[in-house]
Amino acid sequence: MKRFIDKVRSRKFLIPALVVIIAAAFWGLQHKPKASQVKSQGFVTRVPVSVAVAEKGSVRDSFAVVGISEAYRDVDISSETGGVVRSVSAEVGQQKRAGQILFKVDDDVVASLLRKAEVNRELARRDFDRYKALQQEGAVAVSSFEAMRLKFADAEADLVAARRKFSDTQIKAPISGTITSRLVDVGALLQPGTKVAGMVDLSKVRIKSAVPEKQVARLSEGTPVQVTTDVYPGRVFRAAITTISAKSYRGHTYQVEVVMDNPKDTPFRAGMFARTAFVAGSSREALLVPRQALVGSVKEPELFVVSKGIARLRKVAVGDETGGNLEVLRGVAPGDSVIVSGQNELSEGLPVIVVKKASRPGS
Q: Quick check: is 108 in a domain?
A: no
Q: Which of 224, 252, 279 is where one domain is finished? A: 279
Q: Which of 279, 302, 322 is where one domain is finished? A: 279
63: pLDDT strictly greater than 90 = no
pLDDT at 346: 83
Q: What is the CATH number of the domain that holds 301?
A: 2.40.420.20
Q: Quick check: is 94 in a domain?
A: no
Residue 208 · residue 70 · CB < 8 Å: yes
Phi, psi dihedrals of residue 291, rounded to the nearest 5°: -60, -35
**Rounded to an integer, what distance in angstroms lies between the CA atom of residue 238 and that of residue 228?**
9
DSSP 8-state class, residue 142: H
pLDDT at 24: 54
- In terms of domains, do 240 and 295 share one? no
Q: Quick check: is 125 in a domain?
A: yes
Relative to beta strand 189-190, strand 83-88 is: antiparallel
- In terms of domains, do 262 and 320 share one? no
Q: Quick check: is 32 in a domain?
A: no
pLDDT at 194: 95
| Over residues 54-70, mean pLDDT | 84
- In terms of domains, do 305 and 344 share one? yes
pLDDT at 362: 47
Nearest in space to 289 (alpha carbons), one of 252, 321, 246, 266: 321
pLDDT at 7: 46
- In terms of domains, do 221 and 264 share one? yes
pLDDT at 279: 73
| Over residues 135-140, mean pLDDT | 87
- Give the whole-number percent of the chain exceeding pLDDT 70: 84
- In terms of domains, do 209 and 67 share one? yes
Q: Which of 213, 245, 279 is where one domain is finished? A: 279
pLDDT at 222: 87
Contacts of 33 (CB under 8 A, 6+ apart): 41
Q: Quick check: is 334 in a domain?
A: yes
117: pLDDT strictly greater than 50 = yes
**Residue 227, domain extent:** 63-72+201-279
Residue 205 · residue 262 · CB < 8 Å: yes
Q: How many independent structural domains does the chain possess?
A: 3
| Over residues 95-117, mean pLDDT | 95
| Over residues 312-336, mean pLDDT | 85
**Rounded to an integer, what distance in angstroms lies between the CA atom of residue 328 and that of residue 78?**
57
- In terms of domains, do 232 and 210 share one? yes
| Over residues 337-342, mean pLDDT | 88
pTM of the model: 0.60
- In terms of domains, do 293 and 323 share one? yes
- In terms of domains, do 348 and 292 share one? yes
Q: What is the CATH number of the domain that holds 221?
A: 2.40.30.170
pLDDT at 191: 95
pLDDT tens per residue, range 196-251: 999 999 999 999 999 888 788 778 888 889 999 999 999 999 999 999 998 887 77
pLDDT tens per residue, range 276-287: 988 766 677 888
The most distant pair of C-alpha atoms in the chain lies apart, rounded to whole Å, by 171
- In terms of domains, do 216 and 255 share one? yes
- In terms of domains, do 262 and 117 share one? no
pLDDT at 285: 82
User: What is the gyration radius of the CA atoms in the chain, in angstroms?
Assistant: 42
- Give the whole-number percent of the chain exceeding pLDDT 90: 50
Q: Quick check: is 193 in a domain?
A: no
Amino acid at the residue 82:
G
pLDDT tens per residue, range 5-41: 444 344 554 555 555 566 555 555 554 444 444 344 3
pLDDT at 257: 94
**Rounded to an integer, what distance in angstroms lies between the CA atom of residue 342 and that of residue 330?**
23
pLDDT at 36: 44
- In terms of domains, do 219 and 252 share one? yes
4: pLDDT strictly greater than 80 = no
- In terms of domains, do 207 and 349 share one? no
pLDDT at 11: 52
pLDDT tens per residue, range 138-160: 888 989 999 999 999 999 999 99
pLDDT tens per residue, range 66-75: 999 999 999 9
Count of C-beta atoms within a 10 Å radius of residue 129: 12
**Rounded to an integer, what distance in angstroms lies between the CA atom of residue 300 and that of residue 346?**
18
